[in-house]
Amino acid sequence: MKLSDQDTELFYRLMWALQSYVNQQLKILDLECTDDYAGLDSEKKIPVRDALYKNKGLIDSFVQENPQNLSAENLAIISGWKKFVRGDFFIERFLKKYAVFIQEEKVYAVLGLHQSFDELIHRSNLPLYVETVLLPFKGKIIYDGLLGTRNIYFGGGIKQRLKETYLRAKQNNRIIVSLEKPNRENKNKPEAQPLKDWKPELDELAHMAKKLKGSVASPAIYSPAFSLVKASIEFAQLAVSDADDQEGLHKALNKVRRAYNKSNTVLYREEY
């Protein structure tokens, strides 16, 4: 859930070089060199940090002038920071590989720097409302090292909405794992795997289910339970034959719901 130590050190070295350049161009702090700037406390760097994001054209100037004689690879990393995303985010959950940041309907996979996010933030504090800047770095997404937290308690409604936003993005393979690629290429698509053909098994189940019938002598639950089985099999058959038929799937699912509700009503009326 974090960069390697080597990459973290590289990030800070490049960021301090860039911010020192911004400071020299805009004359915000009275400092001589990058080493002096790097040694400052984080709070003293905030005005320069803010100036960088307000004047991102200075990123191009830095890359063109290359005052630190950086390699082409490192200059490309800095140039990519023009695609930064700044604002307020919800940290919704921690996963093994990254933390989930949500901004409106966009879901980002973000890595920590020296520490992973679950080392900085206790899980009991999630979801957490934060202000930060997301940056691309070697095909991944990191934050710029400063994380402003808001001590706000969120009720069950907000938590459920954020959870649904994450699950919807996950289901539709649109968790953003890189800021460097166009949106149309940025879907975290799993590798295509050959799908098992479940149609023969479901057809056999449907044939067997036709024999399920209640009778006057049967318990009242038999008939709605059998209807629920048949409706569920029909829904599964449509799902494996035409998963893109959203209208048909919703109709089939409504049939399952009706059978479920009827079964539930029968159980509710039962006197034990």
Point out the domain boundary residue: 185, 214, 234.
Answer: 185
Whether residues 180 and 88 fall in one domain: yes
Both 134 and 100 in one domain: the answer is yes
Q: What is the dihedral of CA 178, 184, 189, 192, to 10 degrees?
A: -140
State how far the Cα of 193 lies from the Cα of 142, in Å rounded to an integer: 30
Same domain for 172 and 248, yes or no, is: no
142 with 112, same domain: the answer is: yes
Structural domain contains residue 191: no
Q: What does the block give as tokens for 129? A: 């409302």
Report the largest interatomic distance among the alpha carbons of the chain, rounded to a whole angstrom: 95
Q: How confident is the model at residue 87 (pLDDT cuts 50, 70, 90)?
A: very high
Q: Identify the sign of the CA torsion 250, 252, 253, 255.
A: positive
Lowest average pLDDT, out of 66-75, 87-96, 178-187, 238-247, goes to: 178-187
User: In whole angstroms, what is the distance from residue 108 CA to residue 176 CA?
Assistant: 5
| Mean pLDDT, all residues of the chain | 93
On whether residue 190 sits in a domain, the answer given is: no
Kindly report the backbone phi and psi dihedral angles of residue 89, in degrees, each rounded to the nearest multiple of 5, phi listed first: -135, 155
Q: Which residue is associated with the tokens 């709070």?
A: 43
193-239 pLDDT tens trace: 788 999 999 999 999 999 999 888 999 999 999 999 999 999 999 99
Q: Is the pLDDT of residue 185 over 50?
A: no
The pLDDT assigned to 145 comes to 95
Judge if 76 and 126 occupy the same domain: no
pLDDT in tens, 142-152: 999 999 988 77
101 and 165 both lie in a single domain: yes
What number is the average pLDDT over the span 167-178? Answer: 95
Which residue is associated with the tokens 């479901």?
202
Q: Are residues 132 and 157 in the same domain?
A: yes
Confidence of residue 32 (pLDDT cuts 50, 70, 90): confident
User: Which 3 state secondary structure label does DSSP give 159?
Assistant: helix
pLDDT at residue 190 is higher than 80 = no
Nearest to 97 by CA among 11, 188, 14, 172: 188
Supply the range of the domain harboring residue 214: 199-269
Q: Are residues 88 and 171 in the same domain?
A: yes
CA distance 108 to 87: 13
Alpha-carbon span 198 to 186, nearest angstrom: 31
Domain count, the chain: 3
Residues whose CB is less than 8 angstroms from the CB of residue 4 and which lie 6 or more positions away in sequence, other chains included: none
3-state secondary structure of 235: helix
User: What confidence category does residue 156 fall into, taking pLDDT thresholds of 50, 70 and 90?
Assistant: confident
Which carries the bigger pLDDT value, residue 185 or residue 50? Answer: 50
Q: Is the pLDDT of residue 184 over 50?
A: no
State residue 150's pLDDT score.
80
Say what the pLDDT of residue 192 is. 61
How many C-beta neighbours within 10 Å does residue 178 have? 18
Query: Percent of the chain having pLDDT more than 90?
Result: 85
Q: Are residues 13 and 60 in the same domain?
A: yes
Burial-class residue 214 by CB neighbours within 10 Å (0-12, 13-18, 19+): middle
Burial (CB count <10 Å: 0-12, 13-18, 19+), residue 176? buried
Highest mean pLDDT among 66-80, 185-199, 236-250: 66-80
